[in-house]
Amino acid sequence: AIACTWLGIDCSDSFFITDIVFPRPVVGQFPVRLDRALALISIFFPATSDLQHSSIPASLCHHPSLLQLVATSCNLGGSLPSCLFNSVLLTVILADNHLEGQIPPLSSGVSGVSLARNQLTGSFPETFSNATSLIFLDVSYNMLEGPLPASLGQDVILNAKQLFVNNNRLTGGYPTGLSALYGTVTYEPYGASSSNLALDLRNNLFD
């Protein structure tokens, strides 16, 4: 209950911690025992925090209530847990860090993901079609390789409204559904429209 009086800590009526919003940049390792805060819904690290190249702990995969994780420009490192999106997390914003390795498989529940400006490698996630609730995905400015999934065009039409894959090393041709949706697909961003659709494919190695 004492923690509920601290700046940046919100609690439920039963004095369970529900939100952690650090009021100023943090210096130190990413906390590994968040699983003890069973009612925690969101955690927000201010930009320019220094998490000392620590990694996201796999224990977050099993957290029963954590819906939002935000840590942009916080000096995170290492690879993302392979189970990260098989959790209850809905929004994961980890742009502008030093994350490596592959993008974990996406699940049906996740709605917003930003992993832009890291050092992620491997292919664009084939599990994109599983993410039926996804409305925003930004994996720009990484080192992703290979083709986009053939199903991507239809998936964008049905599910994702904003997709940014620019500035990677993607190859191959465009999925046909993208041409049907955007007319003539170019490397220019589609931009916002009345339906908030956006697509950016620039600066890759497409045919």
Read off the pLDDT of residues 150-168 as tens digits, 9 standing for 90 and up: 777 666 655 666 888 889 9
**What contacts 24+ positions apart, CB below 8 Å, involve 12-17?**
12/39, 14/39
- Report how far apart the first and last C-alpha atoms of the chain are (Å, whole number): 59
Residue with tokens 């209530």: 65
Low-confidence ranges of the chain (pLDDT < 50): 182-195
Closest CA to 181 of 202, 164, 158, 149: 158
Residues 6+ apart with CB under 8 A from 30: 51, 54, 55, 56, 57, 71, 76
Amino acid 125: pLDDT: 87
Amino acid 159: pLDDT: 63
Both tokens of 192, joined, read 């916002």
Amino acid 185: pLDDT: 40
Amino acid 12: pLDDT: 74
Amino acid 189: pLDDT: 41
Amino acid 15: pLDDT: 57
Q: Around 88, how many Cα atoms within 13 Å sit in the side-chain half-sphere?
A: 13
Other C-beta atoms closer than 10 Å to the C-beta of 195 total 7
Amino acid 71: pLDDT: 95
Amino acid 192: pLDDT: 39
Angle at CA 96, nearest 5°, toward 55 and 130?
75
